[in-house]
Structure 1
Amino acid sequence: MSRHRTIFRRPILLCVDFDETITVHDTTSLLFQLSSSSASTQQQLVTQYVDEVGEFIGSYETKWRQRELISSRSRTFDDAGLHEFLEGYAAVDLRSVQRVVECRALEGIRHQDLVKVASSVQVRSNYAETLALADDWKIISVNWNKKLVESVITQAGVVHEPTQIIANDMKADQQGVTTGEINVKVQSPMDKARWIDNVRSMYAATKPTVVYVGDSATDLLALLAADVGIWIAAANTAASSAKLLHQLVENYGIDLHPLMNCGSVGGRIHNDRPVLYTVTDWAQVQSILKSPF
């Protein structure tokens, strides 16, 4: 009599970022283009944000260089140091969001304009097919307009429920035109990590393997909170978002393993350091979804 061993596979809950993870470029500029605010106001907001972020990161780069003189790399994971940086980084971003709301820089956007501009958004190849391979999926995004996210993925043929997209949204008047106010649900790296915990609780009955895919420093705590964190890196690692994430990984003791070189992804910790997996495209992410954990 032959015996057949059944391999039980935990369901996969795939959580992903939107801007520069699903899309090729950040979509914030499109929202400004659609609004009725002046170009000078928008430029002032962008310039102030870039200057403040640059000043904040610059102060840490000095600390990181000093650390390199003592040790080329952090030997263990510096969780407290990482959180200190990300909380300060998020505070700079929050001040920027508050300025955008105060001057109503995103006022005057119509729903039909969002749907129309979504067709111009360049997306990464194979992302829609990858979402379809998961048992369930969520988009967790700091994007200011949930309707833009919905429109982009709908035009790619991705069928979804409203609850599958967790993002901020813009308040609108009775005619459906944005007022410039933002209903903030996801703003910081800490928010993203909390949403990972929240969705894990929602699926407590099935105990899925939570996989998170992201591209930037805002995704880092979510990448670490997931069972499997995947950094989808751009070919141009000099891009600001990729550069900062790489700096954080190097300076706070996080290991990077190319996903395609790994026989399995069972381990989240290696030599007391968290492990993140790197891919260059969505096709590589599919390999993990087709294999049992």
Structure 2
Amino acid sequence: MLNHRTIQIILDFDGTITTKDTIEPLVQSAIAFNHPSLSPSERSQTPEGEAWDNCKSQYLAELAEHYEKENNEPNDGAAVTGLAGLEREQRSLDALRDVELASVQRVGESGIFKGIPMEAFREMGRAAAMTGEAEGKDNRAVVVREDFRGFLGWLNQIVGGEFGVISVNWSWKWVRGVLDVVIGNFNVKIIYGYVVANDIDGSTGMIRGYPLHMLARRRTYLLTTADKLLAQKLMLHDKFSLGAVSPQPLTVYIGDSPTDLSPLLHADIGIIMESPSSTPGALRNLIEKCGYRVLPASKYKELYRKGDSEKVAILLSVNNFMEIKDSGMLEDEKWDPTAAKEAWKKAESED
């Protein structure tokens, strides 16, 4: 890596910083806010609880219908690999936008979030991430990966990097609340904007987008991989467009799901956070389907190079955050992933 480059790390939230998706805990926190005296089983019988079950059922049905229609579309049967394959997969993921948008509108209209003060979402996020035990078991609704705080400390003190979060979560205040518990008064450098995710208007209960274009006051829903890519580009532009940083920063993106595909490919270094299960994740499968490899972070020097199988490795993977630290990649002043990536893309375009 070239010396004196600022390192900017952008992370996904659900399943990357946390151990699993947090939409369910967010909804359950909202229902509990309006029905604080009820037990979890009793809350499921409330109008909001029943509405949530209906929303989930309709979403899954529409998702299945979308994939069935996609699978039935005529094609010549030939596999599309390489850069064209990656572009095709991104278009396929972006086509889910109508399904996702219908879902968030349906949830908003259900009234689950109606009447909840806007700042209450941040407090609900804090409460969900607070450590607590009941009958000897950790009863946190949201669990952050245990080495995340240590990773941020190393990033801040040793590497001197900055970090931000981009998420398709429905409430950026909820995400901030969870991170408040983990980071606390931790003196960590953050990217302007820090957390970019959707927002909830408690007065109406509707889920709305994030004001990515601050001056225009226009809100953009973050629902697909294309939306996250736009947020990533704007976050990078806002931070480094003042001309004060030279040379260009090294960009790193860490994510765990197909909605992270485009941001992973856009960064100088894309890192997949593997799920706790032993089976390969959907994101890794997409990369391999397109004829590329994913390497463990310890083999970072082989990134963007062909291996013995003649397949180029275009992403790295880790099982936890400290594997990034232990790999040494962000402290390797002789390694330049930006140049390696440019050389790979040039070679691919000439084939």
Q: Output the CA distance in 1 between the equivalents of 2:72 and 2:269.
A: 32
Is 1:46 paired with 2:47? no
Q: Which amino acid aligns with 2:94?
A: E
> C-alpha displacement at 1:260, in angstroms?
1.5
Of residues 129, 135, 150, the one that matches 1:129 is 150
> C-alpha displacement at 1:247, in angstroms?
3.5
Give deviations 1:15-56, integer Å, cap 9, x for gaps. Answer: 000001000111101121123452211001011112222333
Structure-2 change in CA distance of 1:197 and 1:81 (3 Å): same
* Contact kept in structure 2, 1:13 and 1:208, CA below 8 Å: yes
Structure-2 change in CA distance of 1:269 and 1:180 (3 Å): farther
**SS state of the match for residue 262, structure 1?**
helix
**SS state of the match for residue 288, structure 2?**
helix
Report the TM-score when normalising by structure 2.
0.69
Of residues 184, 187, 195, the one that matches 2:223 is 187
* Contact kept in structure 1, 2:86 and 2:287, CA below 8 Å: no
> C-alpha displacement at 1:198, in angstroms?
1.5
Of residues 229, 232, 253, the one that matches 1:196 is 232
Aligned residues: 275
More displaced stretch, 151-160 vs 16-25: 151-160
Residue of structure 1 in register with 2:314 after alignment: 275
Q: Output the CA distance in 2 between the equivalents of 1:255 and 1:168.
A: 32
Report the TM-score when normalising by structure 1.
0.81
Of residues 169, 191, 211, the one that matches 2:252 is 211
Give deviations 1:98-135, integer Å, cap 9, x for gaps. Answer: 21122223224451434322322111121122234051
> C-alpha displacement at 1:64, in angstroms?
12
Residue of structure 1 in register with 2:23 after alignment: 28
* Contact kept in structure 2, 1:169 and 1:184, CA below 8 Å: yes
Residue of structure 2 in register with 1:116 after alignment: 127
Task: Name the % identity.
Answer: 27
Of residues 174, 177, 183, the one that matches 1:157 is 183
**Matches for 1:1-293 after TM superposition, within 5 Å:** 8-36=3-31, 38-60=48-70, 67=77, 74=81, 77-109=84-116, 111=120, 112-119=123-130, 120=140, 121-132=142-153, 133=155, 135-158=161-184, 159=186, 163-173=193-203, 179-185=204-210, 186-201=222-237, 202-204=239-241, 205=243, 206=245, 207-236=248-277, 238=279, 243-263=281-301, 265=303, 267=304, 275-286=314-325, 287=327, 288-292=329-333, 293=335
Give deviations 1:120-168, integer Å, cap 9, x for gaps. Answer: 2111121122234051111011111112211111111254667211111
* Contact kept in structure 2, 1:170 and 1:181, CA below 8 Å: yes
Q: Output the CA distance in 2 between the equivalents of 1:16 and 1:42.
A: 28
> C-alpha displacement at 1:217, in angstroms?
0.6
Q: Which amino acid aligns with 1:135?
A: G
**SS state of the match for residue 8, structure 2?**
strand
Q: Output the CA distance in 1 between the equivalents of 2:75 and 2:288.
A: 12
Structure-2 change in CA distance of 1:256 and 1:57 (3 Å): farther
Structure 1 residues not aligned, in runs of 5+: 1-6, 174-178
* Contact kept in structure 1, 2:8 and 2:252, CA below 8 Å: yes
Residue of structure 1 in register with 2:133 after alignment: none
Q: Which amino acid aligns with 1:187?
A: L
Residue of structure 1 in register with 2:347 after alignment: none
> C-alpha displacement at 1:237, in angstroms?
5.2
Structure-2 change in CA distance of 1:237 and 1:61 (3 Å): farther
Q: Output the CA distance in 1 between the equivalents of 2:170 and 2:110.
A: 15
Structure-2 change in CA distance of 1:93 and 1:80 (3 Å): same
> C-alpha displacement at 1:290, in angstroms?
3.2
* Contact kept in structure 1, 2:275 and 2:281, CA below 8 Å: no
RMSD: 3.0
Q: Output the CA distance in 2 between the equivalents of 1:142 and 1:91.
A: 14
Give deviations 1:226-259, integer Å, cap 9, x for gaps. Answer: 1111001113155xxx643234223334431222
Structure-2 change in CA distance of 1:268 and 1:20 (3 Å): farther
